[in-house]
């Protein structure tokens, strides 16, 4: 599927494009005397390094959550940069700053900043490189937070030749599918059922759901909320909906984490150890796991099941060196050992992979797209599935998203799921 947007180029953007595109020499009107802004654009274009050699021509740009949101999102960088970039130090410099211009390496990385949702006018900042650097051939966004659609519209006004991949979009699936060639999201509908059944299997009698209005305004999350509530009723679990503190409210992430710490203790005191907890926000997961372990409760899965093992390694202060060199079996054994000491075996579960596996697999798919190894139109699901399984080490299930109301299926919007592992 291709996006249909009008290509709007200003004179300064035409100057920027000259770095990677050779314009015809005939019938070109003489341009007016350049303004200061145009001169800056021309100087900027001269700084662009053409990257047509190596394993693929051009560059791949990746936008992820900032380190204060979700550390797991950074692990993809260690693999992709080591594989494709000659000098990783420059890329780590990008990681530490919200807005840095594109570099000369194959993989360009820009993080969201934790304050960005409060400042939606700044949403374009991590995307500017995609319009300024014509050597960018693909854009991978994980997570595609609220506001991404408006940012992509700005990109597509200038560039409609970029291969766009969105992971965990937080806006309307129909609208997002028009703006990207490939979208991946965990299968929230099936996961809504699965996590309740997993919690019951682990001994839960009560299911606590933490969220806040900003998340409940997202169609997929609210639909999952309804499914969780109905599944609890069906399975005989008491469902408790708790309005948590929004991490981007005036109380900030510290206030939100403090609320979770105090409320988990209060809920376990009221309902007992057979209480399962689920929170919809990434920034609350470590605090939630720590509170659950401290109070002996149940944790069926993170907000995004692909947080994977690093979430528990970090929360439980388990040092394993370069965990990318460790097998899942080794990591699970280390986590199990610590949980055994805390009398928490059989009370924590997740998917046996990490967020970086999804980001990295999508970047690898983008490489194949650039090199012409997969179709330019549509998604080769078999290739993507294999790439994800290579990183995850388990079977991955991919299903096209179908809108329940309209019955329309979006072949480029894929829902993913995996089986749980329980530390027992």
CATH code at 213? Answer: 3.40.50.11390
Helix/strand number for the chain, H first, E second:
16, 12
> Is 47 within a domain?
no
Instruction: Give the separation between CA 328 and CA 324, rounded to whole angstroms.
Output: 9
Annotate 151-163 with b (16+ C-beta within 10 A) or e (fewer).
bbeebbebbeebb
Q: What percent of the chain has pLDDT over 90?
A: 35
> Is 370 within a domain?
no
pLDDT at 7 over 50: no
Among 162, 40, 71, 62, which Cα is nearest to 106's? 62
> Is 337 within a domain?
yes
- The tally of domains found in the chain comes to 1
pLDDT score, position 88: 34
> Is 333 within a domain?
yes
Q: Highest mean pLDDT range out of 303-312, 331-340, 345-354?
A: 331-340
Annotate 10-24 with b (16+ C-beta within 10 A) or e (fewer).
eebbbbbbebbeeee
- Would you put residue 180 in left (φ > 0), alpha (ψ -120 to 50) or beta? beta
Q: What is the mean pLDDT of residues 349-378?
A: 85
> Is 229 within a domain?
yes
SS3 258: helix
Please list the residues that pair with 243 across neighbouring strands.
211
CB atoms within 10 A of CB 193: 17
> Is 245 within a domain?
yes
- CA 61-67-73 angle, to 5 degrees, is 55
> Is 54 within a domain?
no
Alpha helices (H) along 159-251: 173-177, 188-201, 213-216, 219-235
Yes or no: say if 389 and 396 are a contact pair by the CB < 8 Å rule.
yes
Among 110, 179, 118, which Cα is nearest to 148's? 179
Question: Which domain range does residue 227 map to?
Answer: 188-350
> Is 384 within a domain?
no
Q: Highest mean pLDDT range out of 54-63, 252-261, 357-366?
A: 252-261
pLDDT score, position 8: 33
- pLDDT grade for 190, boundaries at 50, 70 and 90: confident
């Amino acid at each position: 599927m291709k996006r249909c947007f009008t290509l709007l180029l200003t004179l300064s953007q035409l100057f920027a494009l000259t770095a990677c595109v050779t314009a015809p020499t005939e019938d070109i009107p003489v341009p007016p005397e350049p303004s200061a802004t145009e001169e800056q654009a021309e100087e900027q274009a001269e700084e662009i390094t053409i990257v047509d050699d190596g394993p693929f021509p051009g560059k791949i740009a990746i936008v992820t959550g900032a380190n204060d949101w979700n550390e797991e999102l950074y692990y993809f960088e260690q693999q992709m940069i080591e594989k494709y970039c000659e000098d990783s130090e420059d890329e780590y410099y990008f990681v530490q700053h919200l807005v840095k211009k594109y570099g000369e390496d194959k993989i360009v990385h820009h993080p969201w900043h934790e304050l960005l949702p409060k400042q939606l006018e700044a949403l374009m900042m991590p995307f500017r490189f995609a319009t300024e650097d014509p050597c960018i051939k693909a854009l991978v966004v994980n997570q595609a937070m609220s506001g991404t659609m408006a940012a992509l519209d700005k990109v597509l006004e200038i560039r409609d030749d970029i291969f766009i991949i969105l992971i965990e979009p937080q806006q309307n699936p129909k609208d997002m599918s028009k703006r990207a060639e490939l979208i991946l999201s965990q299968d929230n509908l099936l996961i809504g059922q699965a996590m309740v059944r997993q919690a019951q299997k682990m001994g839960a009698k009560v299911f606590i759901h933490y969220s806040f209005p900003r998340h409940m305004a997202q169609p997929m999350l609210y639909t999952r909320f309804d499914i969780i509530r109905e599944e609890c009723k069906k399975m005989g679990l008491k469902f408790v909906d708790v309005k948590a503190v929004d991490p981007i409210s005036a109380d900030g992430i510290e206030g939100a984490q403090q609320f979770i710490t105090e409320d988990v203790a209060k809920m376990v005191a009221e309902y007992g150890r057979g209480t399962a907890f689920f929170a919809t926000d990434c920034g609350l997961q470590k605090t939630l796991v720590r509170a659950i372990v401290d109070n002996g409760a149940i944790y069926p899965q993170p907000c995004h099941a692909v947080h994977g093992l690093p979430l528990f390694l970090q929360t439980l202060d388990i040092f394993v060196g370069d965990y990318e060199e460790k097998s899942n079996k080794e990591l699970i054994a280390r986590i199990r050992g610590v949980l055994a000491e805390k009398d928490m075996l059989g009370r924590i579960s997740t998917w046996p992979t990490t967020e970086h596996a999804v980001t990295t697999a999508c970047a690898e798919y983008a490489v194949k797209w650039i090199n012409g190894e997969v179709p330019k139109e549509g998604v080769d699901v078999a290739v993507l599935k294999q790439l994800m399984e290579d990183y995850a080490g388990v079977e991955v299930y991919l299903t096209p998203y179908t809108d329940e109301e309209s019955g329309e299926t979006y072949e480029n919007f894929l829902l993913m799921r995996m089986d749980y592992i329980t530390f027992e």
